[in-house]
Structure 1
Amino acid sequence: MGYIISDDAKDLLGDIKNFCDKEVREQAKEYDRTGEWAEDMYNKARELGYTALEVPEEYGGIGLSRIDIAALLEEMAKADAGFAVTMSATSLAMKPVLIAGSQEQKKKLCELVLDGKMGAFALTEPDAGSDASAGRATAVKDGDSYILNGRKCFITNAPAADFFCITAMTDKSAGVKGISMFFVEKGTPGLSTGKDEDKMGIRGSHTCDVVLEDCRIPAENLLGKEGQGFKIAMQTLDQARTWVGCMAVGVAQRAMEEAIAYAKERIQFGKPIIKNQVIQFKIADMAIKIETARQMVANTLNKMDAGIPYGLDSAIAKCYASDMLVEVTSEAVQIFGGYGYSREYPVEKLYRDAKIFQIFEGTNEIQRIVIANHVIGK
């Protein structure tokens, strides 16, 4: 099954599959081991425009639908979750500008992305994880500038980012209505990044702190108006959650394919273990869950393209798909048996990669709060 995509997307999907087969799938094993930044791999991907898939056609993009992009991102995630997260993180960083930016800001952003530049979205802080409203970073107006101070953490792509969308308090007394959103470019004095996190999974994606020390930016870098930052961030995450679900489907699809291939070759009691109904049922359950998650993603993306409210759908897609991913990768390890626990086989890495999908872009506990609020009402 899968997504129904345009002819242009089918051609690009073939190109991405070939790229991932040649440049990502095997290389990712080494980057997973060392934790090094895959500079050559990512430079090639940027040159091919894989970070710019979500640039709107009116700003020079190639005009793909969100369903088209989902098929491409799923293929990237099948090759390596860290690679897909890195590619999609620039799209995440674009969203605040596309949601709330002026025409000039949108044009500038899209020119940067089309030129191969990468971005990062900086919301999370040491004391503001699930409670994003508890951020302490500040932005003080000073003439025709803002001066930013604070620390962000767990920021995907930060070490390689050329631009950042950053939340900061412009009015501490106003709670969430005192949070604003800013566009900050790499090289701005007072902006620096910390040490890469030594993560359990998606080790091909790099994550670190972003430090703001008297970081002065032009006042025109404010996105929207003062006090709209929290709303912009939540709108950004509403969209981003669906893409998390999309990547989860890709990783799960890879896990199922690896499990099938292994089960056809592994001989026990005189026959391939795939001949056992218990293994067949495991595979069937994987397929059911993967396709269900894929169609949840597709439904949400269709609503986005149609301009129909999708907040509930996005939370469901993200929550279900990421829970599904952990279940599917766990079952894949089980089918491999003891070999599945060895780094010599691919499912061990897939299992480690899976866990973060239940955490980033809002933990699944937060997703259930969002879902309950939509369903139950106030």
Structure 2
Amino acid sequence: MPIDFDLTARQKKLKAVAREFAREVLRPAAERADALPDPQAAFCELKPVYEQATAAGFSTMFLPEEYGGGGASTVDFLVAIEELCAVDPGFPTVLLVNGLALMPVLWFGSEAQREQWIGRATADTRGDFLAGWVVSERGGTANFDHPSPQAGIQLVADHDRARGEYVVNGEKHWPCNAGGWDLRGADVNLCVVRTDRTKGGKEALSALLVERGTPGIEYSVIDKMAHRTCQNVTMTFRGVRVPEQNLIAEGDGDLLINRNFTWSAPIASIAAVAVARGAYEFALKWAKTYTGGGSRPIIDHQAVGHLLAEVAAKIEAGRYLCWKAAHYADTHDGQGHALGGMNKTFCGDLMQSVVFDCMRVVGVNALDRKFPMARYYRESMVFPLYDAGNLAMQRRRTWGVMADAAFTPDTFVDGDPLVFTKSMEGYGVVPENG
């Protein structure tokens, strides 16, 4: 089979539908929401958009058809997400997080859990079902695989065997979607918890599916400088009781975290590419019409032409790395942890600089809020920081795979399978006696 970068006719149609939705439905609502001072109000401003996105199939397109989803590949999802994020990267994060909460149920859950939770998501006809991905903590999550029981994930779930429940205490900081539309909780929150107080992160972590309305949880909304159309909260758990049948990935919460961020890496990366693309499209149009007081549009100046050429090349390179990482994960059943880490760090870091270069083309007018450049700049700041963070967890995952004896520099160019194992974890973690 030849190397092929062509979109299929179906993917081109998906791109066109997503672009029209982004420009006609998402853009006006996102512009209103971004200006609202109350972060929860900004999130809820997008509720009608979410309802239309659900009707269009965007909210569950990545789930298998056998459970009522759209059956789209990760590459398909990227095609749609790029169009949405070029207008507003916050709202598509809501869709991404639905996947971060539900895909682990596919990978680690029982058939009964898949039918219950994925079936509930795909059966949503009102367009209000939300799933939350609850992993980050106030002290940080990058060292979730630390060997000390006192480091890493500290949301503790003690097993009450007599009552068949887990009792959860602690705090999570930054989970997305988790508060729901009314701050009474998402329909389901996938919470990574410590189920063994005596062991390190490679043995002690699991996940619990926490249903909306479960008593003992408080939600406090975080006021962010960007991505204001998605919700992030602090969750406080005080004696929260969860049925033991809601446990998944017992003792393998570390592998769940790593696989989840491998799935999301090309999606977060294409979001970074899309924001850069949005800035580039504006800067290119500006350069073709703005004279700067001269006699010709500024694109006729060599400095501007050269800079825009570099910007365009970086965007193209970033997009194709996203497609490669997504295609590898589709081909090898969610693997490609190192490639996903490379993709996320490369695009998250590079696209931030691309947006800044586009601002240099526009000049001081980029600071004027009536133009979109200031918002693109704010949004670009998010990508190196979220979705496992470029400085720590994403690079550590890549490092761990590269250090393995089975890895070669040809692994990804040849498309060879390479399964991620616990032996690849723990790189960069400093033990207590280190």
Please give the range of the TM-score, normalised by the shorter of the 2 chains: over 0.9
Task: Write the mapping of 1:107-118 to structure 2, written as runs, cut at 5 A.
Answer: 107-114=115-122, 115=124, 116=127, 117-118=129-130
Letter in 2 for 1:301: A
Give the match for residue 372 of structure 1.
399
Give the match for residue 55 of structure 1.
63
Aligned pair partner of 2:342 in 311, 316, 322:
316
Is 2:172 the counterpart of 1:152? yes
- The answer (yes or no) to whether the contact 1:249–1:293 under 8 Å persists in 2 is yes
Aligned pair partner of 2:54 in 46, 52, 60:
46
Give the match for residue 132 of structure 1.
144
Report sequence identity in percent: 26
RMSD of aligned alpha carbons:
1.8
Letter in 1 for 2:325: T
Letter in 1 for 2:173: C
How far apart, in 2, do the equivalents of 1:53 and 1:40 lie?
Answer: 18
Q: Could you list the per-position Cα deviations for residues 331-358 of structure 1 after superposition, in whole angstroms to 9, with x for gaps in the alignment? A: 1111111110121110110110011110
How far apart, in 2, do the equivalents of 1:126 and 1:62 lie?
Answer: 35
Give the match for residue 89 of structure 2.
81
Task: Write the mapping of 1:265-344 to structure 2, written as runs, cut at 5 A.
Answer: 265-268=289-292, 269-307=294-332, 309-344=335-370
- The answer (yes or no) to whether the contact 1:102–1:224 under 8 Å persists in 2 is no
Q: Could you list the per-position Cα deviations for residues 114-134 of structure 1 after superposition, in whole angstroms to 9, with x for gaps in the alignment? A: 114111111111113322341
- The answer (yes or no) to whether the contact 1:244–1:357 under 8 Å persists in 2 is yes
Is 2:279 the counterpart of 1:259? no
Aligned pair partner of 2:228 in 184, 189, 203:
203
SS of 2:154's equivalent? coil
Give the match for residue 242 of structure 1.
266
Letter in 2 for 1:140: D
Aligned pair partner of 2:214 in 171, 176, 188:
188
Letter in 2 for 1:318: K
Q: Could you list the per-position Cα deviations for residues 237-295 of structure 1 after superposition, in whole angstroms to 9, with x for gaps in the alignment? A: 12212211111111111111011011111112211111112111111111111111111
Instruction: Please identify, of 150-159 and 129-138, the stretch whose mean Cα deviation from structure 2 is larger.
Output: 129-138
How far apart, in 1, do the equivalents of 2:48 and 2:324 lie?
Answer: 36
Task: Write the mapping of 1:67-78 to structure 2, written as runs, cut at 5 A.
Answer: 67-78=75-86
* Pairwise CA distance, 1:81: 0.8
How far apart, in 2, do the equivalents of 1:271 and 1:20 lie?
Answer: 33
TM-score by length of 2: 0.82
- The answer (yes or no) to whether the contact 1:3–1:71 under 8 Å persists in 2 is no
Q: Could you list the per-position Cα deviations for residues 204-258 of structure 1 after superposition, in whole angstroms to 9, with x for gaps in the alignment? A: 1111112222111111100132x11122112111221221111111111111101
- Normalized per residue, which structure has more helix? 1
Q: Which runs of 5+ in 2 are unaligned?
A: 146-151, 181-185, 406-434
SS of 2:213's equivalent? coil
* Pairwise CA distance, 1:40: 2.1
Is 2:387 the counterpart of 1:361? yes
Is 2:159 the counterpart of 1:141? yes
How far apart, in 1, do the equivalents of 2:8 and 2:77 lie?
Answer: 10
Q: 1:170 to 1:368 in 2, by over 3 A?
A: closer
Letter in 2 for 1:374: V
Q: 1:49 to 1:192 in 2, by over 3 A?
A: farther
Letter in 1 for 2:340: S
TM-score by length of 1: 0.94
Q: Which runs of 5+ in 1 are unaligned?
A: none
Give the match for residue 163 of structure 1.
188
Q: Could you list the per-position Cα deviations for residues 4-60 of structure 1 after superposition, in whole angstroms to 9, with x for gaps in the alignment? A: 334333333322222211111132122111142222222222233221111112212
How far apart, in 1, do the equivalents of 2:141 and 2:193 lie?
Answer: 14
How far apart, in 2, do the equivalents of 1:60 and 1:45 lie?
Answer: 16
SS of 2:60's equivalent? coil
